[in-house]
């Protein structure tokens, strides 16, 4: 087997990602479906049991505060469980992508079995990253409040009162916080799943390792991430718009389904679309991670094979 791995351009990464996606679609979509289908069923049953429209928890016009609180608690429990499983799904995708990149066979069950040892380490790592992002919001929020407190009197005391300055400042702040959060997420967590699964590092070591890999080629990574996000967004809108329009034209226009059923149907469609898109996202990130290691460490397929096998054995034996 040829073991050399050459540096790839962004175009090369997308080409290789499409090839891996095309030849292993059933495997990768099955890994995503194993988490997203039960999760979507859980969310749908939750909304149906509370007789709520998924677009609004107040859709039933209930005044019972305990009813709404009960729904929120149940929704949070389902969301937390889904978040844990989503992390496991991404580790299973990374394992499957890596094995297929090495030319090896692996099943859906095999990918999940090999991802189990990394379950808690990955979730703890993502918990640390999430806390860091929340801390960033809390740090910037007082600055925003101070600026609004200064701008508000100018908006109110004019002859023609206007909230335009406050709206403009709020929009600018939200843009800044979104950009800062994206940069922090990239620096701390873009390759976290790959680093934990392939290299077997601890939570803090993985975050440090991610920072080191990103920092040397920061603008390349940012550009790639933005481009990949735009592609995924465009595909999502295109597929969702087409399927929703087809349903409205062929079914909902002729059959009198409730708005709740229509919304749940649209959520199911989004889940199906995500089954198509999520594997491509993870393939691209995994290949970008390998490319960074090739450029900085002379990484090759033989080393990848050794690390994948050795890290799995080491993790299992430490349990």
User: Is 7 contained in some domain?
Assistant: no
Higher pLDDT, 107 or 303: 107
User: Is 292 contained in some domain?
Assistant: yes
pLDDT at position 264: 65
Whole domain around residue 192: which residue ranges? 14-317
pLDDT digits (tens, 9 = 90+) for 133-142: 888 888 877 7
pLDDT digits (tens, 9 = 90+) for 222-262: 999 999 989 888 887 887 777 777 766 766 666 666 666 66
Q: Label residue 52 by pLDDT band (50, 70, 90).
A: low
User: Is 155 contained in some domain?
Assistant: yes
User: Is 5 contained in some domain?
Assistant: no
Please report, rounded to a whole number, the percentage of residues in the chain having pLDDT higher than 70: 72
User: Is 33 contained in some domain?
Assistant: yes
Number of domains in the chain: 1
User: 100-104, 262-266, 272-276: which has the minimum mean pLDDT?
Assistant: 262-266
User: Is 175 contained in some domain?
Assistant: yes
pLDDT at position 1: 44
pLDDT digits (tens, 9 = 90+) for 150-191: 665 655 555 545 556 666 767 777 778 888 888 899 999 999
User: Is 8 contained in some domain?
Assistant: no
3-state secondary structure the chain: CCCCCCCCCHHHHHHHHHHHHHHCHHHHHHHHHHHHHHHHHHHHHHHHHCCCECCECCCCCCCCHHHHHHHHHHHHHHHHHHHHHHHHHHHHHHHHHHHHHCCCCCCHHHHHHHHHHHHHHHHHHHHHHHHHHHHHHHHHHHHHHHHHHHHHHHHHCCCCCCCHHHHHHHHHHHHHHHHHHHHHHHHHHCCHHHHHHHHCCCHHHHHHHHHHHHHCCHHHHHHHHHHHHHHHHHHHHHHHHHHHHHHHHHHHCCCCCCHHHHHHHHHHHHHHHHHHHHHHHHHHHHHHHHHHHHHHHCCCHHHHHHHHHHHHHHHHHCC
User: Is 128 contained in some domain?
Assistant: yes
pLDDT at position 123: 93
Q: Label residue 314 by pLDDT band (50, 70, 90).
A: low
């Amino acid at each position: 087997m040829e073991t050399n791995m050459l540096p790839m351009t962004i175009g090369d990464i997308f080409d290789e990602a499409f090839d891996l996606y095309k030849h292993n679609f059933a495997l990768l979509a099955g890994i995503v479906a194993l988490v997203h289908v039960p999760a979507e069923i859980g969310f749908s049953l939750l909304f149906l049991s509370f007789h709520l429209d998924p677009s609004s928890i107040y859709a039933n016009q209930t005044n019972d505060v305990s009813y709404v609180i009960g729904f929120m608690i149940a929704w949070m429990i389902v969301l937390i469980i889904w978040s844990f499983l989503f992390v496991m799904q991404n580790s299973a995708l990374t394992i499957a992508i890596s094995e297929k990149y090495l030319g090896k066979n692996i099943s859906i069950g095999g990918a999940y079995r090999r991802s189990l040892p990394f379950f808690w380490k990955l979730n703890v790592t993502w918990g640390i990253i999430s806390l860091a992002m929340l801390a960033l919001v809390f740090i910037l929020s007082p600055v925003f409040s101070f600026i609004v407190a200064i701008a508000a009197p100018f908006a109110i005391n004019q002859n023609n009162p206007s909230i335009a300055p406050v709206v403009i400042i709020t929009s600018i702040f939200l843009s800044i916080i979104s950009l800062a959060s994206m940069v922090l997420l990239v620096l701390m967590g873009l390759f976290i799943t790959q680093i934990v699964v392939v290299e077997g590092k601890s939570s803090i070591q993985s975050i440090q390792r991610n920072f080191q890999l990103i920092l040397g080629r920061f603008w390349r990574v940012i550009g790639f991430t933005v481009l990949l996000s735009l592609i995924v967004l465009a595909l999502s809108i295109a597929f969702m718009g087409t399927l929703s329009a087809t349903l409205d034209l062929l079914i909902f226009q002729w059959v009198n389904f409730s708005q709740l059923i229509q919304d749940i149907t649209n959520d199911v469609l989004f889940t199906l679309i995500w089954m198509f898109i999520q594997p491509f996202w993870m393939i691209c990130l995994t290949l970008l991670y390998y490319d960074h290691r090739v450029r900085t460490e002379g990484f090759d397929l033989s080393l990848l094979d050794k690390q994948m096998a050795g890290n799995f054995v080491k993790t299992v034996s430490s349990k």
